[in-house]
Amino acid sequence: MSEIKLEKIDDNRWLLPQTGLMRVPGIIYANESIHDLLKKDESVRQVANVAHLPGIVNYSLAMPDIHWGYGFPIGGVAAFDLDGGVVSPGGVGYDINCGCRLLATKLSQGDIRDKIRDLTTALYTRIPSGVGTTGYVKLSGKDSKKVLEEGAGWAVKAGFGSAEDLETTEDSGAMSGADPQQVSARAIERGRQQLGTLGSGNHFLEIEVVQEIFDENAAQAFGLFKGQIVVMIHSGSRGLGYQICDDYLALMVKHQAETGIILPDRQLSCAYLASQRGRNYLAAMACGANYAWANRQILMHLTKEVFEKTLRIAPRELGARLVYDVCHNIAKIESFTVSGVQRKLCVHRKGATRAYPAGHEAVPARYRSVGQPVLIPGDMGTGSFILVGQEKAMQETFGSACHGAGRVMSRTQAIKLSRGRSISREMDDRGVLVMAGSKSTLGEEMPEAYKNLHDVVQVVHDAGIARKVARLKALACIKG
């Protein structure tokens, strides 16, 4: 944390005072133990750096899963005024609309206890994972454009799922304003053969069981019950999203001097929201987001097929349905009340998830009485939490919460510390069957590489941003 000193606001928030050319202060959501971890992390410096950007509103924010990222910290949230504010690819991230999707079933743990290995092997065989993998969906030039414009809706029309799935997908699985003309030929080519693939790194598909219910009312609304088998899918926009980010970062770095904006870090290269370059990036980013939604829609459909075939049951017996799909890495134009005035802002969420409360029009109709489901996965040995958005998030964090546990060590450090160990055997000893494409993937994703998920979730719960609904225990995990 170098020389930056944080001031404690309360048990769950720390103030980063406004100094130098910072336009606003920073606020980091953390308890004492997470605060102590930040002393060796440069992500606090990045929170301060983001506060230098023009048009930023109220605060530069960070969720308790905060760790170092490109430009913005992962776990960073920042909102910018449309008049005089900016959009920064580093505030969205390379994996545009990396996100999570929760699939619930009618099955209980006893129904699959003797079939876990068969299910996991079948899923690993059916769903391509790892760096550069290609999927079963090969896109023509015409279809490539439609995916970028229509998102998950294209996948449903192509036979991967039903229209009901779109009702519980953020933005109905398609972000408006997508323009394939603003996406490079290289990006489109990289995405042409990767639909229906999991990817690598921290992406996963996990079979989980609902172990504990904290909020019976919300759990009932979400269709969750104790002992229930669910599947969490974590993936994004693959090579297409990466290339979009890379293309626009290069463009903005090249032309940054033209903006007249003084940046503390070139990784924060940006464009004014009202500029043509800024509009072009948002249009390309929306294409990446739509590709990611189509990708997760296909992954979910393949998962349902594997369950039905492996367990030899009919779709009605499986009873699979989408609880919710949330995106993590995104910039969206949304409305918030600031100092008593309703304003449209461009909210950057990088490694953060939307957490809208009950009554909000963007919450699916079936959940509007309780609020939006917030999906928070942990490391592969821990499982996940389901929370529900709260009104306080609208007042303090631009409707945002954390997106996961957050790393405490780099991938290089994790691989080094995992040498000589069998992470898969260690996971097996913990009751979690793990399959991955390589030992290095398991090494960089070992549980010790992440913060304590219970700590992270408790901070947003106690801060009143999102309330705990259920805890899920991991049974099996497929990693890229």
Predicted confidence (pLDDT) per residue in 114-164, tens digit:
999 999 999 999 998 766 677 778 888 789 999 999 999 999 999 999 999
Q: CA-CA distance, 202 to 110, in Å (whole number)?
A: 29
Read off the pLDDT of residues 41-98 as tens digits, 9 standing for 90 and up.
Answer: 899 999 999 999 999 999 999 999 999 999 999 999 999 999 999 999 999 999 999 9
Per the listing, tokens 């409305």 go with 335
Q: CA-CA distance, 349 to 195, in Å (whole number)?
A: 24
Assess contact for 86 and 114: CB atoms under 8 A: no
Note if 360 is an active site residue: no
Model confidence at 437, pLDDT cuts 50, 70, 90, reads: confident
User: Among residues of the chain, what percentage have pLDDT more than 70?
Assistant: 99
Q: CA-CA distance, 95 to 114, in Å (whole number)?
A: 36
pLDDT at 2 over 80: no
User: What are the structural domains of the chain?
Assistant: 7-408+450-479 (3.90.1860.10)
pLDDT at 3 over 90: no
pLDDT for 20 equals 95
pLDDT at 181 over 80: yes
* Reported pTM: 0.96
For residue 405, the 8-state DSSP code is -
- Choose, from 328, 348, 403, 461, the residue flagged as catalytic: 403
Q: CA-CA distance, 43 to 19, in Å (whole number)?
A: 17
Q: CA-CA distance, 161 to 233, in Å (whole number)?
A: 15
Q: What is the mean pLDDT of residues 447-472?
A: 96
Residues in the chain: 480
CB atoms within 10 A of CB 32: 11
Q: What is the mean pLDDT of residues 409-418?
A: 90
pLDDT for 132 equals 67
Model confidence at 1, pLDDT cuts 50, 70, 90, reads: very low
Read off the pLDDT of residues 186-199 as tens digits, 9 standing for 90 and up.
Answer: 999 999 999 999 98
Q: CA-CA distance, 180 to 184, in Å (whole number)?
A: 8
For residue 212, the 8-state DSSP code is E
Q: CA-CA distance, 63 to 397, in Å (whole number)?
A: 9
Read off the pLDDT of residues 338-364 as tens digits, 9 standing for 90 and up.
Answer: 999 999 999 999 999 999 999 999 999
Which amino acid, one-letter code, is at 239?
G
> Can you tell me whether residue 144 is helix, strand or coil?
helix
Per the listing, tokens 């779109």 go with 166
Q: CA-CA distance, 249 to 91, in Å (whole number)?
A: 11
Assess contact for 447 and 381: CB atoms under 8 A: yes
Q: CA-CA distance, 136 to 429, in Å (whole number)?
A: 34
pLDDT at 417 over 50: yes
Assess contact for 399 and 356: CB atoms under 8 A: yes
Strands 433-436 and 466-479: parallel
